Amino acid sequence: REIDEVTPADYYAYLEKGKPQFAALKRLDAAFEKAVSEARREKVGKAPAIWLVYNMGLLVKTRETFFSVDLCHRLAPTLAKELDFALITHNHNDHYTRAFYRAMDGEAHKTVVNNFECNYGARSNPYHNGKPSEFGGGFTRGGKEFQFRDVSIRTSASDHNDYLIGFTMPFEISVGGFTLFHTGDTSRVEQLNPVRRPDLWVVHPRVGLSVAEGVKRFKPKTTVIAHLNEFTHPKDKYRWTWADGLEEQAKAESAGGKAVVPVWGERLA
């Protein structure tokens, strides 16, 4: 009910003014602060620690790195100096914010692996007297592999829908024996071909692909049903609810898999 009170216009006003006037937006800020606080304190072992912040946005901490995937929150720019790098699946404002990209690229000179911005800031930005990122620039159309300390990343290209072709960039992220498969807004499951069996598959289930088919194809150990209650979408169109997530969870489980429907700020691994 609290989520339904917030219109897209209310959400954009919150992003601009930074004042959560609605209970759901206060919860969203609290979820961000919870995830960040836990990540800062966490002593990571062999497997990474992973939190869902909002929508499909993740914070990931390994023994040697701290990074994000599709982090989309008004407070995300405050993490630019702490994050080692960031991954963004595609150029839609429910998967990143311009303020976060500017903070990472232009101010902190960090690598942002993405398929739509040059990321020159990671190579050093003379206007800010910055130093080059140790990882270099992160622009790619997919099909490129990255090694960031103990994190191996394999990128690919996928369709968002029948007119945004090759628009989304899935990430197969491996840390030791653990694999996180984040597929953003991929609409065609046949375009998803992870090399390793995912420990976690983070998926948008209502963009066209079949979660059940994905479970059968590459057998993730756990499927994370994400992209729920997105505030940029009106509540009567494309704002999929927790109930929608539970329906998709049931489909994944009917295909023989395990699935979860996390809430904001929840730890996934």
pLDDT in tens, 112-132: 999 999 999 999 877 777 788
CB-based contact 179:199 (threshold 8 Å): yes
Nearest to 174 by CA among 47, 267, 39: 47
Burial of 234 (0-12, 13-18, 19+ CB in 10 A): exposed
CB-based contact 231:250 (threshold 8 Å): no
Nearest to 82 by CA among 60, 113, 57, 97: 60
**DSSP code of residue 237:** T
Which structure tokens are listed for 67? Answer: 């990074």
Position 25 scores a pLDDT of 97
Tell me the β-bridge partners of 51: 59, 267
Q: Measured between alpha carbons, how far is 88 from 83 in angstroms, rounded to an integer?
A: 14
Position 124 scores a pLDDT of 87
Tell me the β-bridge partners of 168: 158
The predicted model gives 83-99 an average pLDDT of: 97
Q: Measured between alpha carbons, how far is 157 from 114 in angstroms, rounded to an integer?
A: 11
pLDDT of 32 above 90: yes
Instruction: Pick 230 or 235 by higher pLDDT.
Output: 230
Position 64 scores a pLDDT of 97
The predicted model gives 182-190 an average pLDDT of: 98
